Amino acid sequence: MLSSTPKVLRTSLFEQFSSRSFSSRSSASRAFTPRFPLQRLPARRFYSSEPPKKPSGVKFWPFLAVVIAGSGAYKLLVDQRAEMASLPAPEASKQLPSPTKSTPTFSPDEVTVLFVLGGPGAGKGTQCARLVSDYGFTHLSAGDLLRAEQDRPGSQFGQLIKDYIKDGLIVPMEVTVQLLENAMTETIKTTGNKRFLIDGFPRKMDQAVKFEEAVCPAKLVLFYDCPEDVMEGRLLERGKTSGRADDNAESIRKRFRTFVETSMPVVDYFAKEGRVVKLDATPPPADVYSKTRSELSKRLGI
């Protein structure tokens, strides 16, 4: 296992639901006992032998009023829903890239992509900086790309990003993946460098699948594993000078939970494919980096 986080076996919701439903139906069947034998029930007449009575107009009008009121309410509801459906999504959403692509833009035989994952405070940024310096990797951060893109004049996605953030919506995954692809294309074009470290991405399985289908399969995932208490201590110490609002105990613990729930499945997925290098991030950064270099030499020959 890559994570020290214990895994709990869960019965699927379908199995739980089926079990409860079956047991409740069975117990209900056993508990049912007719109060009267069926053969003793007298035959009922479902018609009347009396002459039909004239309908009362007094009872008809309240019913008609209810029907009219209900019809009016229904029409109002339909009109409101139609109005809501006609509200436009953010205008820039028309710029979304095509969701389908038959082959990745880059071949893993020509381009090297390493995903760098680890909990908050694991030291990913420190290790990436040293890898860039010693191996010539280009360091790409999805978060940095989004922040830079929304303020870049003439940006293809800048207005879209602003609109989604303004409306409290999550920026579409396609945009993030497209920004990474654009950055890789520009780097290769201007520098010829084809080695990339993608830091803090993918955070979820759908991001991983989308990137590998559309852009380039990753060679390896560098997973910096570190106990939560160590990471928390580092972040609290950093918070004394960083000025970051999320460097406080409550926010840090929420970030830990988010990482375990969303990012660890990504690590587990790549581990099953033999593409994860697990690195103990507890020692001093220099020792962690020495181990990182050793693993890259063994796995990639660099």
pLDDT band with cut points at 50, 70 and 90 for residue 77: very low
Is residue 49 included in any domain, yes or no?
A: no
Helix (H) or strand (E) holding 252: helix 249-258
> Does residue 102 belong to any structural domain of this protein?
no
Whose structure tokens read 């509801």?
Answer: 77
Measure CA 103 to chain center.
23
Residue 209 lies in a domain: yes
pLDDT at 99: 52
**Total tally of structural domains belonging to the chain:** 1
Q: Is the per-residue pLDDT at 109 higher than 60?
A: yes
Per the annotation, binding residues for ATP are 121-126, 238, 283
Tell me: pLDDT of 48 over 70. Answer: no
State whether residue 11 is helix, strand or coil: coil
pTM for the structure as a whole: 0.64
Does any domain span residue 245? yes
> Does some domain include residue 287?
yes
List binding-site positions for a ribonucleoside 5'-phosphate: 147, 169-171, 200-203, 207, 244, 255
Residue 63: per-residue pLDDT = 53
Lowest mean per-residue pLDDT among 69-73, 161-165, 259-263: 69-73
> Across residues 274-282, what is the average pLDDT?
98
Instruction: Tell how strand 138-141 and strand 220-225 pair up.
Output: unpaired
Residue given tokens 């039909």 in the structure block = 52
Going by the annotation, the residues of the binding site are 121-126, 147, 169-171, 200-203, 207, 238, 244, 255, 283
Instruction: Please check whether residue 129 lies inside any domain of the structure.
Output: yes
User: Residue 76: what residue type?
Assistant: L
At residue 201, φ and ψ (nearest 5 deg) are -145, 140
Residue, of 223 and 241, whose pLDDT is higher:
223
| Domain extent for 202 | 124-300
Report the distance separating Cα 9 and Cα 163, nearest Å.
41
Sign of CA dihedral 243, 246, 249, 252: negative
Do 222 and 117 meet the contact criterion of CB atoms below 8 Å apart?
Answer: yes
50 or 100: which leads in pLDDT: 100
Q: Strand ranges (DSSP E) for the chain?
A: 112-118, 138-141, 195-199, 220-225, 276-280
286: domain CATH number is: 3.40.50.300
Residue 209, helix vs strand vs coil: helix
